[in-house]
Amino acid sequence: MYSLHPSKRFHFIIGALISFWSFIFIVFVRPFEHGQMDIEKWVYVGLGFSTLTFLAYVAVILYQNLMYKRIRKWNVLLELSTYLIFFTLYAITTFIFYRSPIINGFYSFYEFLINIIVNIFLILTPIIFISRHYTTKLLPPKDDHITIKGDNKLDILKIKKSDLVCVSNVQNYVEIFYLDQEHLKTKLIRTTLKKLQADLDFLLQIHRSHLINPVHFKSWKDSNTILINTLELPVSKNYKNQLLSL
């Protein structure tokens, strides 16, 4: 099972790093040479390729965040799809740049793929893979506690993210169900379900009045009810597909 680093900032740093590598590769390796291209021309070409590299990876960031929020998990197929999206966008945009008046390249798209993109793919793929999966070990561990605050000063609850079970709407309040030393407890906080969902984006909506932490989902009791910890909660038709994908 693959995991996805949740930080957008982390992935923007990866995008910047591979963009810098792209610049160095183009300027110093010079994978093509058409006509008179001095060092100044190669710097312009390198800047163009590196910018397009960064933009292609930004598209990956947007895609993976959208998918992760929708299905709340990550796997090998989703990971491979990010590489497919990146290199497809990279190949198309860099080819357009290559054929522009700045370079005046004469390769066809097929020749461009074989002579340039394949070499870049072979070198860049391991760099992206290592950046996405191994540099996370160099990061300091994150505090897994969350703080839930309400409208009143005394409306505050600090717990581990994994201890939050679910949240239910109760008129002008929300009822927080959480674990305290393996015992299920509750706390009323004056806030809205919508605000809480915006603050805690890992929660999954299953009903207009209920949000759940997917890690506590146990099983279906019937087609319209789930078991989560010791609770039974209704599931609306509008949200059933998200739950079925877990």
Q: In this structure, what CATH number is given to the domain that contains residue 160?
A: 2.40.50.1020
Domain boundary among 138, 168, 194: 138
**Three-class SS of residue 186?**
strand
Q: Which two tokens stand for residue 20?
A: 């810098």
Domain membership of residue 1 (yes or no) is no
Q: Which residues pair with 169 in a beta bridge?
A: 174
Kindly state the DSSP code that residue 14 receives in the 8-state scheme: H
Whether 74 and 169 share a structural domain: no
H or E segment at 112? helix 109-112
Strand 183-189's sheet: what is its strand order?
Answer: 183-189, 173-180, 164-170, 210-212, 204-207
| Cα dihedral sign, 45-46-49-51 | negative
Q: Are residues 126 and 31 in the same domain?
A: yes
How many domains is the chain built from?
Answer: 2
* Same-domain pairing of 134 and 149: no
Sign of the CA dihedral 66, 70, 75, 81? negative
Same domain, yes or no: 40 and 130? yes
188-201 residue pLDDT tens: 999 999 999 888 88
Instruction: With respect to residue 227, please indicate whether it lies within any of the assigned structural domains.
Output: yes
Mean pLDDT (the chain, rounded): 88
Tell me what pLDDT residue 32 has.
86
Q: Report the pLDDT averaged over residues 218-240.
A: 90
Q: What is the pLDDT of residue 2?
A: 62
pTM: 0.62
pLDDT digit string, tens, across residues 50-75? 999 999 999 999 999 888 777 767 78
Residue 51 lies in a domain: yes
15 within 8 A of 55, measured Cβ to Cβ: no
pLDDT category at 136 given cuts 50, 70, 90 is low
Of the residues 138, 171, 203, which one is the last residue of a structural domain? 138
Query: Are residues 12 and 133 both part of a single domain?
Result: yes
For residue 30, being part of any structural domain is answered with: yes
Under a CB-based contact definition with an 8 Å cutoff, are residues 50 and 23 in contact? yes
Same domain, 28 and 99: yes
Rounded Cα distance between 219 and 202, Å, is 19
Give the full edge-to-edge strand order of the sheet including 231-234: 217-222, 225-228, 231-234
Q: Does 179 share its domain with 66?
A: no
Residues 109 and 22 grouped into a single domain:
yes
Q: Do both 95 and 161 map to the same domain?
A: no
- CA gap 48, 38 in Å, rounded: 16
Tokens standing for 144?
């897994």
Distance of CA 217 to the CA centre of its chain: 22
* 2 domain residue, yes or no: no
Q: Could you read off the pLDDT of 69-128 as tens digits, one per residue?
A: 777 677 888 889 999 999 999 999 999 999 999 898 999 999 999 999 999 999 999 999
Q: Which residues contact 3 (CB under 8 A, 6 or more apart)?
A: 74
Q: Judge if 134 and 170 occupy the same domain.
A: no
Q: 133 is in which domain, residue-wise?
A: 8-138
User: What pLDDT does residue 109 have?
Assistant: 96
Among the candidates 82, 113, 138, a domain finishes at 138
pLDDT reported for residue 135: 63
Q: What per-residue confidence (pLDDT) applies to 198? A: 87
Question: Chain-centre distance of CA 233, in angstroms?
Answer: 29
Q: What is the pLDDT of residue 113?
A: 95
Q: pLDDT-derived band of residue 176, with 50, 70 and 90 as boundaries?
A: very high
pLDDT value of position 190: 92
Residues 21 and 131 in one domain: yes
Task: Compute the Cα dihedral for 47, 49, 50, 54 and give only its sign.
Answer: positive
Residue 173 lies in a domain: yes
Q: Is residue 27 part of a domain?
A: yes
Q: Let me know whether 134 and 157 are in one domain.
A: no
**65 inside domain:** yes
